[in-house]
Chain A
């Protein structure tokens, strides 16, 4: 049995992120914590889109479900951060299942539109209940409520390590998932649904399962985002937050476990760098994406995998 290169690579990435905790300057340190939380979201998106082939344009709804489940519980009910975190994860999964039960009756473009509409409805619902959610202005979660056990999530160092912990959990969970029998079926569904049906798999339940896992990831990320950065606002439920994970995944490599992190990292710094150069930073990111689609449609890691790193999970 040859060494498990895939596992070592992923552990290596986690070790590098831990090293950056010590090495990274404060500015990048904060950025990285945010990137890791968003990468969890993108990993969830990748499970649905990259592995199962479900091109959703409504994942902001699942992210927001986690964000608001956690935020509202803390803000209005005085719940502790651990309870809020768990509630956020479950809310993301539950909303994904509810949406999936209806949206998965469609496929392709219709699925994109239905999920987009659900997410817009969710966004408008948040605005509608402004008395509770404070709409666009959002809720600022007080520092006292951002204690996870004995950990103060508003502290930079703690926040980084908690973000890394959650990211590590999500990453290794993702790796285990795609190597599991169910992971193989997800890919089979993406590659050839009719063939998979004739191997005894119900496409609807497989896709619903994948979407549920995807929703759990999005919910976890949303809850963590709210609690760590102390802000829960409607802008985080907008269509932009449905597109972001798609871009991260496309850039990093759809259907690769590390792609979402790499995509989030590159995109974050691309936007950061472009905005320091010009006001038209969206033009720079747009141009980067066009170049990507034209010259490397598989994304960074997808291209590497096609060029010889076949073992890349």
Chain B
């Protein structure tokens, strides 16, 4: 069992009408790990992380961050408490400069040196040369990186990445993996990802969701060997 628990969810539930998007999910994140969340389309992955980040209100169940109950905490307060969420569909501020996009994240946590910290966050994803560019004119891959830089600039304890490699070229994916590896163990990463190569390469632990419930949880090797997962998801 992993060392220190960063986040624990118990009986987490969210239904939309008759659809059980997330149904009584128990989930634990260990501090400093890279944890992947996988599952077929519609398995409830995005709803689940939306419950963790506070974007969608919890119907029942509880969430604890470092032992503190955050179930009813509003989303913006959870960000300040250390949970950063990067959007599945890139949501950078298209009309603002790359610098301003990241500066918004940096000043949110009350940095002492706004300009230096902003440039440092941009440097982590290799966008420092484009600081003055209008974010909307960046290529898709660069916008994804900017999104990640905004997450990193918050200096979160938990960074939730929602399908970060979607639409990226192979070379960009390789660079992205290095960026994520550099985040731990200072922070914990929860990764929703469809690309199995990325998942198997990066994740120390994997949780498989199916029809809103946890199908399996374990190391990449365990998940690969799991019959139920193979049938439900990997098409084995």
| Chain A residues engaging chain B, CB cutoff 8 angstroms | 181, 184-185, 187-188, 191-192, 194-203
Contact = CB atoms under 8 A, between A and B. Distances in A.
A209 to B, nearest CB: 14
B150 interface: yes
Contact of A199 (B55, B94, B104): B104
A195 B151 CA distance: 11
Given A188-B104, A200-B80, 19 more contacts: A181-B114, A184-B96, A184-B104, A187-B100, A188-B96, A191-B94, A191-B95, A194-B55, A195-B91, A195-B93, A196-B104, A197-B76, A198-B53, A198-B85, A200-B77, A200-B108, A200-B109, A202-B76, A203-B76
A197 B93 contact: no
Interface hub of A187, A191, A197, A199 (most chain B Cβ within 10 A) = A199
B96 A191 contact: yes
B74 interface: yes
A201 B108 contact: yes
A203 B108 CA distance: 13
Contacts of A192: 91, 93
Given A197-B75, A198-B85, A199-B79, A191 B93 contact: yes
A86 B100 CA distance: 35
Interface of B: 53, 55, 74-77, 79-80, 84-85, 87, 91-96, 100, 103-105, 107-109, 114, 150, 154
Contacts of B79: 197-200
Contacts of B80: 200
A185 B109 CA distance: 13
Nearest to A206: B76
Contacts of A198: 53, 55, 75-76, 79, 84-85, 87
A67 B218 CA distance: 68
Contacts of A187: 93, 96, 100
A6 to B, nearest CB: 14
B91 A184 contact: no
A202 B93 contact: no
A188 B150 CA distance: 13
A196 B100 CA distance: 12
Contact of B104 (A185, A202, A203): A185
A93 B62 CA distance: 41
B96 A199 contact: no
Contacts of A188: 93, 96, 104
Return the 9 tightest CB-CB contacts between A and B, nearest first: A200-B79, A200-B108, A181-B107, A195-B91, A200-B80, A191-B93, A202-B76, A197-B76, A199-B108
Interface hub of B87, B96, B108, B109 (most chain A Cβ within 10 A) = B108
Contacts of A184: 96, 100, 103-104, 107
Chain A interface, DSSP helix/strand/loop, else mixed: helix
Contacts of B96: 184, 187-188, 191
A95 to B, nearest CB: 27
A196 B92 CA distance: 10
B76 A200 contact: yes
A264 B142 CA distance: 41
11 contacts: A181-B107, A188-B104, A191-B94, A191-B95, A192-B91, A197-B76, A197-B79, A199-B79, A199-B154, A200-B109, A201-B76
B122 to A, nearest CB: 16
A194 B150 CA distance: 14
A188 B92 CA distance: 10
A200 B103 contact: no
B150 A199 contact: yes
A200 B55 CA distance: 12
A171 B145 CA distance: 37
Contacts of B103: 181, 184
Contacts of B93: 187-188, 191-192, 195
A181 B102 CA distance: 12
A200 B154 CA distance: 9
Contacts of B76: 197-198, 200-203
Contacts of A195: 87, 91-93
Contacts of A191: 93-96
A195 B109 CA distance: 15
A185 B154 CA distance: 15
B83 to A, nearest CB: 9
Nearest to B84: A198
A196 B93 CA distance: 9
A194 B91 contact: yes
Contacts of B85: 198
A191 B103 CA distance: 15
A188 B79 CA distance: 16
A201 B78 CA distance: 10
Contacts of B114: 181
Nearest to A202: B76
Contacts of A203: 76
Contacts of A196: 104
Contacts of B75: 197-198
